């Protein structure tokens, strides 16, 4: 892509990937990984463990638990909320068990005092949409199964409050939180209840350009060509960016379910190329009478919480306030 400044941006090179002839990609951008720590040591406030979600699809979850809850007295039967978390990967980055996501989930667990279920969903382009939404719903159903099964996963079964489940995602993970919340309105999940959705810079697009997108052609973090590449890698062959889960503003099978959504928190930053779409998205939720809170910051870019600990902590505090609000 040639920007107004005359600089050619290769979106694949920008994110360290190379397309292969068989439709897969080779990923050269490697983030440091962190192993789960199921046993607390050295006063660590959070413990974690990896479990299989769907063996057929080779998906996993990493569960995070506040150490203080495990160490509480036996007469403390207070259950804590469950956050089902979808990390931002642009649909294609290997990020589930990296130090960035591990730190985000640990902070959520500690500050909100909640169980966090971090979902290892399948990646594009090897697995195109809508399989990521299927993996997300697998996680919701898995949490319900563990809570109700006498032999289910101990942390969820003994400490989790499945009537207070929250969907939380960043970037494309925020998109997944929205679509999963819609799908949940069509399923019999009781006694599990989706109490709310937290969408941090949810990723949407469309065929008609917005002003904020047009101004991002040479954006150093997320140039417009890279944003298009995200969807080029993820959408089913033959679909364009006006399919409803990419552009929720269009009429589609989702429209009738929007008004059934529970509380939503939408977080955005004005330097994000998708900012105009986020504002349209919030207005759409308001028009459908969805209980909505919007937190838009005047400074910050897409994915800023992945590189700025101060902003990451601020987003955790927003989630904490949202979840703990009566």
Enter the pTM of the model.
0.95
At residue 76 the predicted structure's pLDDT band, cuts being 50, 70 and 90, is low
Q: Does residue 4 have a pLDDT over 60?
A: no
Contact 302, 212 (CB under 8 A): no
- Region 58-67 average pLDDT: 97
pLDDT reported for residue 326: 76
Q: Under a CB-based contact definition with an 8 Å cutoff, are residues 247 and 205 in contact?
A: yes
Looking at residue 282, its pLDDT comes to 98
Residue-wise pLDDT for 110-156, tens only, equals: 999 999 999 999 999 999 999 999 999 999 999 999 999 999 999 99
Q: Which residues contact 226 (CB under 8 A, 6 or more apart)?
A: 9, 11, 14, 15
Q: Is 272 a catalytic site residue?
A: yes
Q: Decide if 27 contacts 17 (C-beta within 8 A).
A: yes
For 26-35, the pLDDT digits (tens) are 999 989 999 9
Using CA atoms, how far apart are residues 268 and 200, in angstroms rounded to an integer? 7
**Among 89, 171, 205, 216, which one carries the catalytic annotation?**
171
Q: Please confirm, yes or no, whether 113 is among the known catalytic residues.
A: no
SS3 per residue for the chain: CECCCCCECCHHHHCCEEECCCCCEEECCCCCECCCCCCCCCCCCEEEEEEEEECCCCEEEEEEEEHHHHCCCCCCCCCEEEEEEECCCCCCCCCCCEHHHHHHHHHHHHHHCCEEEEEECCCCCCCCCCHHHHHHHHHHHHHHHHHHCCCCCHHHHHHEEEEEEEEEEECHHHHHHHHHHHHHCCCCCCCCCEEEEEEECCCCCCCCCCHHHHCCCCCCCCCHHHHHHHHHHHCCCCCCCCCCCCCCCCCCCCHHHHHHCCEEEEEEECCCCCHHHHHHHHHHHHHCCCCEEEEEECCCCCCHHHCCHHHHHHHHHHHHHHHHCC
Q: State the Cα–Cα distance between residues 301 and 83, nearest whole angstrom.
A: 25
Among residues 89, 168, 205, 302, the one annotated as catalytic is: 302
pLDDT, mean of residues 260-283: 96
Axis crossing angle, helix 172-184 with helix 131-148, rounded to the nearest 10: 60
Confidence grade of residue 299 (pLDDT, cut at 50, 70, 90) = confident
In whole angstroms, give the CA distance from residue 133 to residue 57. Answer: 13
- The pLDDT of residue 2 is 38
Q: Is 171 a catalytic site residue?
A: yes
What residues contact 266, with CB distance under 8 A and at least 6 apart? 199, 202, 278, 281, 282, 285, 292, 293, 294, 295
Tell me what the pLDDT averaged over the chain comes to: 94
């Amino acid at each position: 892509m040639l920007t107004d400044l005359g600089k050619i941006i290769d979106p694949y090179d920008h994110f360290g990937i190379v397309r292969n002839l068989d439709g897969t990609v080779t990923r050269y951008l490697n983030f440091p990984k962190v192993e789960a720590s199921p046993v607390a040591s050295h006063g660590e406030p959070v413990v974690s463990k990896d479990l299989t979600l769907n063996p057929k699809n080779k998906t996993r979850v990493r569960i995070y638990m506040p150490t203080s809850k495990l160490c509480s007295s036996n007469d403390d039967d207070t259950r804590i909320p469950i956050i089902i978390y979808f990390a931002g990967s642009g649909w294609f980055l290997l990020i589930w068990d990296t130090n960035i996501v591990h730190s985000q989930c640990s902070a959520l667990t500690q500050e909100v005092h909640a169980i966090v279920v971090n979902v290892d969903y399948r990646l594009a382009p090897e697995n195109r949409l809508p399989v990521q939404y299927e993996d997300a719903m697998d996680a919701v159903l898995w949490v319900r199964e563990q809570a109700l099964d006498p032999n289910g996963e101990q942390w969820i079964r003994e400490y989790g409050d499945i009537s207070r489940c929250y969907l939380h995602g960043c970037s494309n993970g925020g998109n997944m939180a929205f679509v999963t919340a819609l799908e949940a309105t069509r399923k019999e999940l009781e006694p599990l209840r989706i109490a709310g959705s937290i969408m941090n810079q949810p990723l949407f697009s469309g065929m008609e350009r917005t002003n904020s997108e047009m101004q991002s052609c040479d954006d150093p973090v997320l140039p417009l060509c890279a944003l298009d590449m995200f969807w080029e890698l993820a959408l089913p062959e033959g679909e364009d960016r006006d399919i409803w889960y990419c552009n929720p503003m269009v009429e589609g099978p989702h429209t009738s379910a929007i008004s059934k959504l529970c509380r939503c928190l939408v977080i955005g930053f004005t330097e994000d190329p998708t900012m105009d779409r986020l504002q349209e998205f919030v207005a759409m939720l308001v028009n459908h009478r969805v209980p909505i809170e919007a937190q838009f910051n005047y400074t910050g870019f897409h994915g800023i919480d992945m590189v700025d600990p101060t902003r990451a902590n601020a987003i955790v505090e927003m989630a904490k306030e949202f979840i703990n609000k009566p």
